[in-house]
Structure 1
Amino acid sequence: MDTNGLTVKSGHIIRLHFEQNDNHLESLYLSCNALGDAGSCEIASGLKHDKRLKRLGLASNCIGVEGARALVDALVDHASLQQLNLGYMKATILLGGLDNVIGDEGATEISRLIRLNKQ
């Protein structure tokens, strides 16, 4: 679902899907959208109920420190997740999107995920 104009509302819908505890997805690619911190926090809340997802792509979604922290909190005990992409998509500028800006504080959060996730 990369580059589909997804917003906070979409993040909420995805959260509800995960909260049903009936997820069969192993990969979810949502890069180059407009989820922002609020949308990524919604998804993070849902991920606390999911244990199947292996790959999550959230590149170029205008995610900052708040969103990165919420994702780390949700994923630190997520045994199946193998890939998390919070990077940059080349098409971001052409599509009028914004990249993720997690900065040093967000990088500290990501390092916490790496350090604490023993899976």
Structure 2
Amino acid sequence: MSIASLRKNHTLRTLYIDANGISETGASYIADYFEYMKSENRKGLTGLFMAINRLGDAGTELIANAVAGYPHLSRLDLSSNRIQNAGLKILLEKCNTLPELVYLGIGLYKSTADLGELPNYFDGYGAELIAEFIRTNNTVKILGLQDTNIREGGFEIITDALEENHTLMNLQYQQFRYQLPQELEARIGSFLARNIQEQLGMSVQEFKSSLKGEIKHSDQIRFIDSIYRNNMKDCHICV
């Protein structure tokens, strides 16, 4: 689908363009789309999934600036896009201008290496940026940070920030070849459980089995789930 066609489309709400080798150049076209939607005061995409691409910091900045102030974006996934701290900083700043954002993915997809792509890479400074975002944001319910080279010191400040956040209900924090201390894991789990109970009146297990998928992918996930449940057992080659 071309960007010109996308501008004319009044029904498409979620766009999945994962694993397409999209670089800064491709990001500029996506950015143009959102700038156009804002200039026309139109509701277009509410979900943009661009994981396992090649945005880097420059492409991420283009996307971040373009979606800033766009009031309809509720889901954004830029996992595995070679983003480092510079891109992370501007992305998190602009995500705080999105009043409907409930899911933000900036972690790793398992198939990244299989596709010859690279992960996002944050260090201690990146952890500080994430902690500040968690402390100040009051819309995001699911945040993916898995396998982004954050270590114990970084997770200590992230956990302290989470104590102040009463919105986040799922934090994907697992890191490659690193196990968080049990105390930190327990604190993270307790804060997330508190938020789920306060907002939804249910347990963590109930949340994961009922609403987590819908928050990440919208309620349309039920159609995907239905297809897999009903057809995968009879499917020998699926493309």
Name the TM-score, length of structure 2 as normaliser: 0.48
* CA displacement, residues 26-79 of structure 1 (integer Å, 9 cap, x when unaligned): 111000000111100000110114111111111110000011001011111211
* Structure whose residues are more often helix by fraction: 2
Give matches, 1:30-109, under 5 Å. Answer: 30-109=50-129
Which residue of 2 is the match for residue 7 of structure 1? 23
Alignment partners' CA distance in 1, 2:28 and 2:128: 26
- The offset of 1:108, in angstroms, is 1.4
Query: Contact (CA 8 Å) 1:77, 1:117: kept in 2 or not?
Result: no
Gaps of 5+ in 1: none
Gaps of 5+ in 2: 1-16, 140-239
Alignment partners' CA distance in 2, 1:114 and 1:17: 28
User: How many residues are treated as equivalent by the alignment?
Assistant: 119
Q: Which has more radius of gyration?
A: 2
- The offset of 1:115, in angstroms, is 1.4
- Moved runs in structure 1, 4+ residues, more than 4 A? none
Alignment partners' CA distance in 2, 1:63 and 1:88: 11
For the aligned residues, what is the CA RMSD?
A: 1.2
Query: Contact (CA 8 Å) 1:48, 1:78: kept in 2 or not?
Result: yes
Letter in 1 for 2:87: G
Which residue of 2 is the match for residue 112 of structure 1? 132
Alignment partners' CA distance in 2, 1:85 and 1:113: 13
Name the TM-score, length of structure 1 as normaliser: 0.93
- The offset of 1:89, in angstroms, is 0.9
Alignment partners' CA distance in 2, 1:64 and 1:13: 22
Give matches, 1:21-36, under 5 Å. Answer: 21=38, 22-36=42-56
Letter in 2 for 1:48: A
Structure 2 counterpart SS, 1:51 = coil
Q: Percent identity?
A: 34
Alignment partners' CA distance in 2, 1:88 and 1:69: 18
